Amino acid sequence: MKTKFKNLTIWITGASSGLGAALSIAFAKKGATIILSGRDRQKLEAVKDKCKRSHKHIVIPFDITDSKQARKAYQLIKAQTSKVDWLINNAGISQRSLIMETEEEVERQIMEIDYFAQTRLTRLILPDMITQGGGRIVMISSVAGLLGTQYRGAYGAAKAALHMWANSLRAELHDKGIEVATVFPGFIQTNISINALTADGSPQGTMDEATNAGLTATEFAKQVTKALSKGEEYIIVAGSKEKLATRVNRVSPPKLYKLIRESQVK
């Protein structure tokens, strides 16, 4: 049975641009009530204006790495809506630096944003989801969390950790009505490479060729909404090369990493 989105309230983090904005617009089009979160209220309001029936959606800006702000944001949400049915943990930041050149503090920053902030927010909302009889947690991981490549050591590690954490959550809370899905984007046309952290923590500032040639964020959102409406739990949304790489990895990891070394991914 397909999901009836008009009955759902969906909280999406990192909703001010890129994948989060595209997901917000796509789910709103299907009738869901969207709670849009990110740090920039003005950008969130602009995305809200693009959502169908924009008047019914809610903007809650906060810094996801700040635990106090996260708790306050959730209290504001509970004051404005009866419940949150789905939480889509989409906020995150990427990396473009070699392991040997990357400062430890930069790696910690990536882990804080891409892993700890996501798991913290999930634990915050889970008690109420369980009390209300169920809900769905959606983690936006990455193909980089399945395959280790150059220039993404900490990013791939954080996304892999998120994937494994989601697997454990699914196993632990299945009997509580909590559904868990993990989405693995490949190269998608967003600002992810522009904002990606380099070795000293500064943003790269340029668009990668592979990212620029990737799927559009709109196509990504279309595939994700379709998969989630069917109850899928493990969703890869990527181009043919990335999908092939995940298949090769399952059959022969040494062969895959030979190809990765030769391709010099960046």
Share of the chain above pLDDT 90, in %: 90
Domain 5-263 maps to which CATH number in 3.40.50.10490, 3.30.479.30, 3.40.50.300, 3.40.50.720?
3.40.50.720
pLDDT of 26 strictly over 90: yes
pLDDT average, residue stretch 87-109? 97
Q: Is the pLDDT of residue 231 over 70?
A: yes
Q: How confident is the model at residue 80 (pLDDT cuts 50, 70, 90)?
A: very high
For residue 266, is pLDDT > 80? no
- Asked if 191 and 17 touch (Cβ cutoff 8 Å), the reply is yes
pLDDT at 239 over 80: yes
Please state the domain extents for the chain.
5-263
User: Catalytic site residue 234?
Assistant: no
- pLDDT at residue 1 is higher than 70: no
The model's pTM: 0.95
State the CB neighbour count (10 A cutoff) for residue 154. 22
Q: 103 Cβ partners below 8 Å, 6+ apart?
A: 199, 200, 201
For residue 42, the SS3 value is helix
What is the distance between the alpha carbons of residues 67 and 170, in angstroms, rounded to a whole number? 23
Catalytic site residue from 115, 155, 234, 257? 155
| 3-state SS track over 125-177 | HHHHHHHCCCEEEEEECCHHHCCCCCCEHHHHHHHHHHHHHHHHHHHHHHHHC
N residues, the chain: 266
Q: What is the pLDDT of residues 144-186, one digit of tens each?
A: 999 989 999 999 999 999 999 999 999 999 999 999 999 999 9
Q: Report the C-alpha gap between 87 and 121 in whole angstroms.
A: 9
Averaged pLDDT of the chain: 96
The per-residue pLDDT for range 5-23, each reduced to its tens digit, is 999 999 999 999 999 999 9
